Amino acid sequence: MLSSTVGETDVPLLDETIGANFARAVGRFGERDALIEAAADGDASAARRWTFRELDDDVDRLARGFLAAGFAEGERIGIWSPNCAEWTILQYATAKIGAVLVNVNPAYRAHELVFVVRQNGMRTLVVAPSDRTSDYVGMAREALAECPDLRELVFLPAPSRAADGAFAAGVPASGEETTWEALAARAGEVPASSVAERAAALAPDDPINIQYTSGTTGFPKGATLTHRNILNNGYSIGELLGYTEEDRVVIPVPFYHCFGMVIGNLNAFSHGCATILPGRGFSPAATLKSVQDFGGTSLYGVPTMFIAELALPDFSSYRLDTLRTGVMAGSLCPIEVMKRVISDMHMEDVAICYGMTETSPVSTMTRLGDSLAQRTGTVGRTMPHLEIKVIDAAGETLERGQIGELCTRGYAVMAGYWDQSDKTAEAIDADGWMHTGDLARMDEDGYVVIEGRIKDMVIRGGENIYPREVEEFLFQHPSIQDVQVIGVPDEKYGEELMACIILKPGAELVDAAAVAEFCRGRLAHYKVPKYVDIRESFPMTVSGKVRKVEMREEAIERLGLRG
């Protein structure tokens, strides 16, 4: 039997835009809870809350503000912020007016921000307030000065805003800056019908979202996703989870990933579920408290998040009996952790998802009733309306059980990399197959096991890191002659980075602390190498390529990381 499967087709695909789907949800579930943002101090009574109808009102208000500002269909609007209610409002406002939402990783530093702003010709960037970890305002102003296409910054209100959902006022520093409230207040400048008129002109295959993935060239690529891509992927996941309007989905995973905005928002709202935001960033205690305070029935996370929640000293004090399901993704879950998630967190129906940003994101998923072994040793079966195959180097489909490259095809495959047709052609072949770069095998029942990666991508705590990007940056260090970055095993994050460095003759010795200091404020924290290995040379193949596999094995032995 060949390693090729086609997903179910009994539930038809949605042939509509995100705005049209949301309008149907508002019509059906108008007075039900749609969005709850927990208060920073944990006081459940101070949470910000929206029904579907109230959320729709704020979405339309912001959308009209953008129309008053002259936004055309297809223009890019970036969001650079941790999770907050405004993120969700912006996601749906841009979808209604056909603006392309660009997700910017909150961990980015100035040079990374400038690159993505320039690459897609972003017109406006919505910016979070600065906090103790990131000077968002300062770095956004740098980008405004360096990027000619960027015309305006919109500053989000501070996290201490009023519990009733009112927008906080602020004073812009210049004519190129404004506040969230000032933009939304422009709604009165255009007719109430303007949003509906714009939405009616949009099509399901229009691009609506750009998400940046690290590239082997050292620079991110903008995966361009359509309404059809991400709406249907979210909806299919909800169908497989058995979601109804009675479900309340706790989302501690970031919105700038597909995990938060697709598996989270689009999935939930298309089924009438409430979404619950525990905080701006992940806190295991705040997450469990949100489940308890707001009756969460579904909880999301990467395995390290669930491990952190289970490890809380007062874990047993949280009331989690409302939970029944959830999604775990990012990496495989250790079997003992999965046992506790099912038994101690009451998540009997928790599902494992696998995919990539370029596939909107989920290609395979476990199903209700799957065994513990299937939920810890595999990434499930092919998603509805998608195809999966495992191929050899010649492109031939392999027999079941053989290891090769996993490919996927169907509605979920991205429209392409923004303004990079050459990179798109490298990833998607002439027959529409997305080549994932992951090594996998398919068992007799069609379940997929991920065996490794063809390329050198490192996954640290759910964050995908391509070593070449970090290498390109470290080459700028005055003492470094050559550098190769590899991934080594880590108990907490799955993998950590090691920078293997050849120093310039006579250069000052570089250690991990010096590398971290060089990266501070300039490179996202998760891309900073934990280990540094000073070497005289790198092992090479006959053809002159660096043998990273050999370097990794040496590092594992030297650091005592075997097993």
Cα dihedral 406, 229, 99, 72, rounded to 10, equals 110
Q: Is residue 546 part of a domain?
A: yes
Evaluate if residue 160 carries a pLDDT over 80. no
Residue type, 278: P
Q: Give Cβ neighbours of residue 522 (< 8 Å, ≥ 6 apart).
A: 109, 110, 111, 473
- Evaluate the CA torsion angle 445, 447, 448, 451 in order and state its sign: negative
Higher pLDDT, 145 or 549: 145
Average pLDDT over residues 444-467: 84
Band of residue 228 on the pLDDT scale cut at 50, 70, 90: very high
The model's pLDDT over 511-547, given as tens digits with 9 standing for 90+, comes to 999 999 999 999 999 999 999 999 998 887 544 567 8
Please count the structural domains in the chain: 1
Mean per-residue pLDDT, 450-468: 79
- Which ranges in 77-164 belong to alpha helices (H)? 85-97, 110-120, 136-146
Mean pLDDT of 279-298: 97
| DSSP string for 252-304 | -S-TTSHIIIIIIIIHHHTTT-EEEE--SS--HHHHHHHHHHHT-SEEEE-HH
Q: Is residue 176 a part of any domain in this protein?
A: no
Q: Give residue 173's pLDDT.
A: 58
User: CA 240 to CA 427: how far, in whole Å?
Assistant: 28
The structure tokens 């998923």 sit at 365
Residue tagged 């989905």 (tokens): 249
Per-residue pLDDT, 243: 98
Rounded mean pLDDT, 12-30: 98
Flag whether 472 is in a domain.
yes
Q: What does the CA dihedral 54, 57, 63, 69 come to, rounded to 10 degrees?
A: -120
DSSP secondary structure code for residue 527 in this structure: G
Q: What letter represents residue 150's amino acid? A: L
Question: What are the pLDDT digits (tens) for 176-200?
Answer: 999 999 999 999 999 999 999 999 9
- For residues 452 and 63, which has the higher predicted lDDT (pLDDT)? 63
CA distance 478 to 463: 28
CB 350 within 8 A of CB 327: yes
What pLDDT, on the 0 to 100 scale, is given for residue 214? Answer: 64
Determine contact, residues 427/404, Cβ cutoff 8 Å.
Answer: no
Whether 317 is in a domain gets the answer no
Kindly report the average pLDDT of the chain as a whole number: 92
Name the least confident of 492-496, 541-545, 553-557. 541-545
Find the domain containing 468 and state its range.
458-559
- How many residues can be counted in the chain? 563
Cβ atoms 264, 300 nearer than 8 A: yes
Q: How far apart are CA 546 and CA 563, in angstroms?
A: 25
Residue 172 has what pLDDT? 58
Specify the range with the lowest mean pLDDT, choosing from 211-220, 306-315, 488-497, 516-525.
Answer: 211-220
Residue 538: name the closest of 492, 456, 472, 482 by CA. Answer: 482
Predicted confidence band of residue 164 (pLDDT cuts 50, 70, 90) = very low
DSSP states along 209-258: EEEEE--TTSS-EEEEEEHHHHHHHHHHHHHHHT--TT-EEE--S-TTSH
| Contact between 80 and 86 (Cβ < 8 Å) | no
According to the per-residue pLDDT averaged within each range, which of 410-414, 478-482, 494-498 is highest? 410-414
Is residue 15 very low, low, confident or very high in pLDDT (cuts 50, 70, 90)?
very high
Q: Residue 82 CA to chain centroid, in angstroms?
A: 12
Continuous segment of H or E residues that includes residue 552: helix 548-559
Residue 534 lies in a domain: yes
Q: Does residue 332 lie within any of the structural domains?
A: no
Per-residue pLDDT at 332: 72
- Residue 170 above 90 pLDDT? no
- The CATH number given to whatever domain includes residue 477 is 3.30.300.30
Average pLDDT in the 271-296 region? 97
Between 235 and 311, the more confident residue is 235
pLDDT of residue 468: 76
Q: At which residue do the structure tokens 């609007």 appear?
A: 77
Sign of CA dihedral 508, 509, 513, 516: positive
What does the pLDDT average to over 247-259? 96
| Mean pLDDT, residues 370-391 | 96
SS3 track for 431-487: CCCEEEEEEEEECCCCCEEEEEECCCCEEECCEEECHHHHHHHHCCCCCEEEEEEEE
Does 539 map to a domain? yes
User: In this structure, is residue 269 part of a structural domain?
Assistant: no
| 267/185 Cα distance (integer angstroms) | 30
pLDDT at residue 174 in the model = 64
**Nearest alpha carbon to residue 4 among 351, 328, 410:** 410
> Over 365-389, what HEC string results?
ECCCCCCHHHHHHCCCEECCCEEEE
